[in-house]
Amino acid sequence: MQSIRTLTALAAVVLLVTAGPAPAFALSPDEHAHSSVEVDASAQSTFAQTDDSASGSFGSGDITVTRGDEVTFTVSHSGPANVTIGGPNNGFNLRIHLGGSGSSEITIDTYATNKNASEFVDGGSPELLSGKLSKPLEPADYFMNVSVGGDERDVTTLTVEPRGEMSAESLIAPSTVSPPASSSGKEGDADLGDLGGVLSSDNRLAPGEYAVMKVHESSLETSLNAEALSGNDASNGIKLNVTQTNPGPNRDPREFVATADPEANVTVLPQFEQDTVYFVLDTSKLPVQKQSEWNKYKMRLALTEENSLVDEDTVVAETAFQLDKPKVTLSPVNDSVHYPWDPDAFTVRGTTTRAPNTTLEVRLRSPKPDAFLLIEDATVDANREYEATFDLSDVTRGVNATLWTEDVRSGDQFFLKTAQEVSLVAPNASVRFENQSSDGARVSLSHVEVPEGGFVRIHDAKGNGVGRSDYLAPGRYENVSAELSLPLYNEQTLRAELVTDDGDEAYSENDTEYRRSGWVVNDTARIEFGAPPTETPTTQTQTATPTPTPTPTPTATPYPVQTEEPLEPSGESTGTGIPLSPAVAVVALLAAAGLLVRRTEGEKDE
């Protein structure tokens, strides 16, 4: 009877153990040890109960990572917990034990998942339940759960995506900036510093400038070693080399390996948050050949057999660039002669093979009589052009100054390529009045120079003002016309003098004359005018107009009238004359009366 009771008790224990709520792969080693411990009634009660206050969660949705990169996630747990990833069906089964309670951060490096668990897991106590992998974790969906006190509290999925295709852009940067030191990217994105503001999309540059390969990366986050890019095991199978594309006949192409050859001086600046890596090549030590075709290079990023993501050497990104000898041109925008009336701003422009955003110095220098040196910075634009403007308001006039461009940072001597003379003309108010014939309305001045603007005033030999020009802006003029204020005749001497303007561009007698060494600036000329006009009397013919009145009215005539004395009668009438009609007699009497009146008036005038 006693043996039957013992068997019954053992059977009950077996049933309780096999009916536990947690699956076998989620139990800790300590939980598995309970099967060998003697169980009594109180023990049966413990296994039958769960802690309703226990909690655990991943805090976010599904977790995604690109094969070869690392992924970080957070687990919240109220007590000691286990995180399980994968299972027998995936060929990968990982368990991470988390002690205590709170929030735990776990990072998994998928590139190193073919190593021991402690080498690819950061956080907790990892244990690889499956066999060790020969390659990094394959793309797939991996089930994940977290259990607290043997009870599953949350589940999610870890998705490992295939490694994407890489691509690259060709950029250049000027030698006037210095890139920061290489970075691993482990502490966050690298700071590009001044380099970030001067990069331009191009592939032609001068020696000493930077050829930049901007790689849109995939799966380089943990395998990239900025200090080793030779493709060996220490480089994790990542290789960066610079190769000459056309060495010329009967020559092998030059090839330089980054971090191994000094000619391939490369700075690595990863920005993994943007899936980008900048490889910055200093071209200072690359040889420059006479033939331009021999100065073409390719920069290649490859994964070698030492990289566990590929089975053979594979080029994943490539860019090309060409080195050009430094060249530069320079010329004034308007003229190399600068007059006093020209704007004080003197602008020069040039072209160069230097990279955009390069800072050049443009200089203007005169050694005498009052020496000066003007220096202006000029930034090369996207079209490889630059511009500088000098302020000439306070410089010495009447001298020739030397203008040239310098590339201070690179040490290139651009002086001989760009040096030229600029003539800074001194103010010289002058007027030239040449002998001439005039139409009487105007005279012409062959040359006028008014540095500050003004007028030309014309005087006659007595000093009277007889004409002037219109307002002349500051400058030098030929064939200036001056209108005469009154007509002049015959040949006479006129004087032209320069008059300043008080700022209103309107002539005033108060405007002062230009003076040089105390003397008024003027010139004289003999001007031949026409003779004065003479009045010629005009003959008019009086036409008698019949009038209806019986008594005609005499009309005064402007012409001189020749009069004669009337003849005396020759004695008594002989009766042989022709008798006059009464009308004729009346007309005769009136005519006689008119003659008498005119004669009387003439005598009075005498």
> Domain count of the chain?
5
Examine the fold and report which residue of 161, 193, 214 is the final residue of a domain before the chain moves on: 161
Whether 555 is in a domain gets the answer no
Can you give the length of the chain in residues? 606
Indicate whether 438 and 402 sit together in one domain: no
Residue 596 lies in a domain: no
* Chosen domain end from 323, 358, 393: 323
In a domain, 543, yes or no: no
88 lies in some domain: yes
With 0-12 CB in 10 A as exposed, 13-18 as middle and 19+ as buried, what is 556? Answer: exposed
In a domain, 117, yes or no: yes
87 part of a folded domain: yes
Q: Which of 503, 528, 553 is the last residue of a domain?
A: 528
Assess if residue 575 is contained within a domain: no
Residues of the chain with pLDDT under 70: 1-52, 408-412, 535-606
Say whether both 316 and 178 belong to one domain: yes
Other CB atoms within 10 A of residue 124 CB: 18
State the DSSP H helix or E strand holding residue 57, giving kind and residue range, or none if neither.
Answer: strand 56-57
State the pLDDT at residue 409: 64
**300 and 274 housed in the same domain:** yes
Clarify whether residues 445 and 500 are in a common domain: yes
Distance CA 174, CA 197 (A): 11
pLDDT at 43 (0 to 100): 33
Residue 241: in which H helix or E strand, if any?
strand 238-244
Same domain, 252 and 376: no
Nearest to 124, CA basis, from 156, 157, 92, 146: 146
Same domain, 146 and 64: yes
177 and 264 both lie in a single domain: yes
pLDDT digits (tens, 9 = 90+) for 342-359: 999 999 999 999 999 999
SS3 585: helix
Q: Are residues 62 and 139 in the same domain?
A: yes
Range of the domain at 244: 167-323
Residue 473 in 3-state DSSP?
coil
- The answer to whether residues 204 and 303 belong to one domain is yes
Q: Read off the pLDDT of residues 128-150 as tens digits, 9 standing for 90 and up.
A: 999 999 999 999 999 999 999 99
List the CATH number of the domain containing 484.
Answer: 2.60.40.10
Residues 141 and 246 in one domain: no
Residue 414 and residue 435 share a domain = no
Place of tokens 């490992």: 160
Task: Indicate whether 550 belongs to any domain.
Answer: no
Q: Taking the CA of residue 349 as centre, how many other CA atoms within 13 Å lie in the half-sphere pointing to its CB?
A: 7
CATH number at residue 402: 2.60.40
Do residues 438 and 478 share a domain? yes
